[in-house]
Amino acid sequence: MKRSYFLSMLLIVFLFTSSLSWGEFKYAVLVNNSTYQIPEWALVADTLKSRYDGEIFTWESSVWDVRSELSAYKPTHIAFVCEPLTASAGFVQIVWPFTRCLDDDPYGDAIWGIITGYDAADALRLANCEPFVVKNMLGGTMSCDVNYYPQGIATSEATYNRIRFKYLDGTIIDTTDENLCPTDRTEFLMDMINADTIDIFMTSGHGNHDRWQLHYPSPDLEGFFMSSAGQLYGDPRIGPNINANSVNPKIYLALGNCYVGKLQNLNSMAPAWIHTGGASLMTGYVEWEGTYSHQHGGTKAFFARQGLYTWPEAFFLANQALYFDLDNHTPGTNPPDLNWSALYGDPALDARLDTVSGVIPGSMYEEQIEIVPGDDKDTVTVRIVMNREDSPGYNGKWGNRHPIILFPFRAENPVIIKYDPECYTAEVTDDFFLMCIWWLGDAPLPAGATREFVFTCDHMVTSVEEPASPPLPSKIVLYQNRPNPFNAQTQIRYQLCSPTAVNLAIYNLQGERVCTLFEGYQYPGTYNLIWDGRNQRGGEVVSGIYFYRLTSGDISESRPLLLLK
């Protein structure tokens, strides 16, 4: 007997983020072989592999060397672990077409990000970054959509002293006041970043690989954000520089800036934002940004206006909309920036909008999926239901985009069998469904309006239809230490599922035991131990890579850690 399953948007998100348990999630780590021979960089790749139960693919002359193996693996996410000078503009412009060529359709085949930084320790921090929610917005531009965030501040790059406040209760105040927003915002913005309360920062105006000009179109009375040797700093028009020293995880979007995402050398902005600016995710153009550059507008749309996806997912979906607009000559679009933007950070990082802390508009529509399993083919219905009157399609450079539903499953050989009669066209791949249902010039869709499509795909075993039994826990579970890398001390956590004798010890790269943190009998439960970077005799050990190993009977688990002094 056939069964029908209805998934609300909430359940879709739950399934996708839980796919580590159900087998849909497949993480690939791509790293140059010479980089992988460097212990500090190998630790980055190995950490990602361990964290996501992924696979490492090493390439020699080009990422195209591993295309066949990667295609067979069918990754949902790809992390490119790169030394900073490898992640050049040319590399980014290779990654985009490469990630569209892993199957037969012309669209993107995996969510991707570049794991790098000023040094390997930065990259390791990105690899270990924990999920976070975005509550507090800071804008160096009025185009930052501050009203879509729980709270925040937007400032103008074109009008001196203009500032907009968004409060948790939904109140928005837009005013021009020198006492609230100084004429030169350089110190004002840098101080807020250093306060470590900002979750996302957006800028617009003129830029280069090592600077952002605060005022537009000319510097006039304002200064610059600049970078040198891994240090991000503010350079006011008058007065001393202000160094960035932020540590809280945040997103930096160089929304309307030329070249700010271009990693030209070690003085560039990208490694500096990661090294001292606290950026765990950074998105920026590696080429000039112009009137018809649409990638970044789509990214912020899928993050806070529609779908409410994670930042890496939104980055990926924005590019699929961009490709669709180019291929279908969508009215009003002429985007040249298909391969021009880079995402630095973990492509699987769950960094998404905080939807519970304040009053926000939320997604313009609800996404729904219904699956009817068959013997050989499954029938899938996808629909959106408008939550408010709005325009679900391209309506400007930094406005809305076509609705895209990212699947919590892989739909092999999909074929659309029923179009909504009120739509223009649609595209389906094994990863997502894009529906073109609104063009410039159309009236907005009212709240409650529904658009629905039906497609078939090869029969799939979904977590809804046939939930797999969770794997039985092993005798021990060893977690990654936090923080990693560390200086003074780090915490090592492990879980025991039965009474047992255990041994937890630290080893160096030569396999020599440095110290024993615990040896004895323990009962089931979770335990936390601290290592302070000292050997068994109490002496401080040198900076470098070490391993901690937890042993119980014939079971042994180990993980690497990095000590920096």
Taking only the tens place, the pLDDT of each residue in 199-237 is 999 999 999 999 999 999 999 999 999 999 999 999 999
In the predicted structure, residue 119 carries a pLDDT above the cut 90: yes
3-state class (DSSP) for residue 143 = helix
Tell me the average pLDDT across 425-439. 96
Residues of the chain with CATH 3.40.50: 26-115
In the predicted structure, residue 462 carries a pLDDT above the cut 50: no
In terms of Cα–Cα distance, which of 212, 200, 335 is closest to 262? Answer: 212
HSE-CB for 110 with a 13 A CA cutoff: 32
Task: Name the packing angle between helices 39-52 and 120-128 (round to 10°).
Answer: 10
Q: What is the dihedral of CA 274, 278, 283, 284, to 10 degrees?
A: -60
CA triple 143-144-147, angle to 5 deg: 105
In the predicted structure, residue 7 carries a pLDDT above the cut 50: no
Residues of the chain with CATH 2.60.40.1930: 476-563
Per-residue burial over 286-301, b if 16 or more Cβ lie within 10 Å, else e, is bbebeeebbbbbbbbb
Tell me the average pLDDT across 240-261. 97
Q: What pLDDT digit, counting tens, does each position of 391-431 carry?
A: 999 999 999 999 999 998 899 999 999 999 999 999 999 99
Q: What pLDDT digit, counting tens, does each position of 27-71 carry?
A: 999 999 999 999 999 999 999 999 999 999 999 999 999 999 999
In the predicted structure, residue 469 carries a pLDDT above the cut 70: no
Q: What pLDDT digit, counting tens, does each position of 487-516 carry?
A: 888 889 888 877 888 899 999 887 889 999
Which residues are CB-neighbours of 145 under 8 A, at least 6 positions away? Answer: 137, 300, 304, 305
Give backbone dihedrals phi and psi of 128, rounded to 5 degrees, phi first: -100, 5
- CB of 487 within 8 A of CB of 564? yes
Residue 564's pLDDT is 77
In the predicted structure, residue 19 carries a pLDDT above the cut 80: no
Residue 472's pLDDT is 40
In the predicted structure, residue 357 carries a pLDDT above the cut 60: yes
Enumerate the H helices of 404-547 as residue ranges.
none
Per-residue burial over 537-564, b if 16 or more Cβ lie within 10 Å, else e, is eeeebeeebbbbebbbeeeebebbbbbe
Residue 475's pLDDT is 64
Please state the CATH superfamily assignment of the domain spanning residues 476-563 in this structure: Macroglobulin (MG2) domain (2.60.40.1930)
Q: What pLDDT digit, counting tens, does each position of 137-181 carry?
A: 999 999 999 999 999 999 999 999 999 999 999 999 999 999 999
- CB of 141 within 8 A of CB of 256? yes
- pLDDT category, 461, cuts 50, 70, 90? low
- CB of 231 within 8 A of CB of 241? no
What's the rounded Cα separation, in Å, for the pair 68 and 545? 33
CA dist 92 → 24, 99, 112, 151, 383 (Å): 26, 11, 11, 33, 34
- CB of 299 within 8 A of CB of 259? no
- CB of 536 within 8 A of CB of 515? yes
Tell me the average pLDDT across 529-544. 90
Pairing of strands 544-552, 500-507: antiparallel
Q: What is the DSSP letter of 444?
A: P
3-state class (DSSP) for residue 114 = strand
**Share of residues in the chain with pLDDT > 70 (%):** 93
Residue 415's pLDDT is 96
What's the rounded Cα separation, in Å, for the pair 172 and 181? 16
Q: What is the DSSP letter of 161?
A: T
In the predicted structure, residue 304 carries a pLDDT above the cut 60: yes
Q: Which two tokens stand for residue 473?
A: 């826990």
How many Cβ atoms from other residues are within 10 Å of residue 33's Cβ?
Answer: 11
- CB of 29 within 8 A of CB of 57? yes
List 417's β-bridge partners, or say none: none
Residue 22's pLDDT is 29
Which residues are CB-neighbours of 423 under 8 A, at least 6 positions away? Answer: 435, 436, 437, 451, 453
- Give the chain's mean pLDDT: 90
**Architecture field, domain 26-115:** 3-Layer(aba) Sandwich (3.40)
- pLDDT category, 116, cuts 50, 70, 90? very high
Q: What pLDDT digit, counting tens, does each position of 270-283 carry?
A: 999 999 999 999 99
- pLDDT category, 520, cuts 50, 70, 90? confident
Tell me the average pLDDT across 86-108. 97
Q: Is 401 left (phi over 0), alpha (psi -120 to 50) or beta?
A: beta
Please state whether the predicted TM-score (pTM) of the whole model is above 0.85. no
Residue 402's pLDDT is 98
Q: Which two tokens stand for residue 59?
A: 């390439």
What's the rounded Cα separation, in Å, for the pair 531 and 515? 9
3-state class (DSSP) for residue 17 = helix
3-state class (DSSP) for residue 535 = coil
In the predicted structure, residue 433 carries a pLDDT above the cut 50: yes
Residue 465's pLDDT is 41
Tell me the average pLDDT across 530-544. 90
CA triple 358-359-363, angle to 5 deg: 110
In terms of Cα–Cα distance, which of 199, 232, 25, 29 is closest to 123? Answer: 29
